[in-house]
Chain A
Amino acid sequence: EDQVTQSPEALRLQEGESSSLNCSYTVSGLRGLFWYRQDPGKGPEFLFTLYSAGEEKEKERLKATLTKKESFLHITAPKPEDSATYLCAVQAIAAGNKLTFGGGTRVLVKP
């Protein structure tokens, strides 16, 4: 069974204080690993897809990396508007179009 575990559950940062979020996964044949951002009361917003170990993707202050067992989302010099819940999900090759989500990391960036 595919599993995704995210840590920490919550993260409080000062504006400008860089940090990393972890997503550990087990999957029988990875098709893709996805990162989403979710604001309270809204639907998840797609950020990145990573397909193979060693791959990296960047968007503004966010950078996602992937190994064979985990992915990291690095937030560099965060701003208050980066406050959100960040969700990680995996899609297995044999799982149709199903995404298995982790529990998320709630990030609060204080000015």
Chain B
Amino acid sequence: EAQVTQNPRYLITVTGKKLTVTCSQNMNHEYMSWYRQDPGLGLRQIYYSMNVEVTDKGDVPEGYKVSRKEKRNFPLILESPSPNQTSLYFCASSVGGGYGYTFGSGTRLTVV
């Protein structure tokens, strides 16, 4: 089944403790992206990647890192999480610009 898999689905952590949210897609897509979704603010892009070793900042990149060492994986790294990063995070992939994204099921992160 074609899908984008994120892990974990739920995560509660403490301020400053480094964490990684994994994302993997099995569709051989070139493009991958991370979004966060907050009430009243909608979905906002954090980082995106157009191919292996090619990444760039989205609208809200502060406090996040990404890497794209393999085509299928695009992990999101929070080096020192803070409470304002409490959010619902989605990873998505697409075959290319102008095509619809396939989204993962989401990771609900709470930073206390």
Contacts and interface: CB of A to CB of B under 8 A. Distances in A.
Interface size range on B against A: 20 to 34
B90 A98 contact: no
B43 A97 contact: no
Interface in A36-73: 36, 41-46, 49, 51
A99 interface: yes
Contacts of B110: none
A104 B105 contact: no
Interface of A: 31-32, 34, 36, 41-46, 49, 51, 87, 89, 91, 96-99, 101-104
Given A97-B33, A99-B45, A99-B101, 20 more contacts: A31-B98, A34-B101, A43-B90, A43-B103, A43-B105, A44-B43, A44-B101, A46-B103, A49-B99, A51-B98, A87-B43, A91-B97, A96-B97, A97-B50, A97-B94, A98-B45, A98-B59, A101-B42, A101-B44, A103-B42
Interface of B: 4, 31, 33, 40, 42-45, 48, 50, 56, 58-59, 90, 92, 94, 96-106
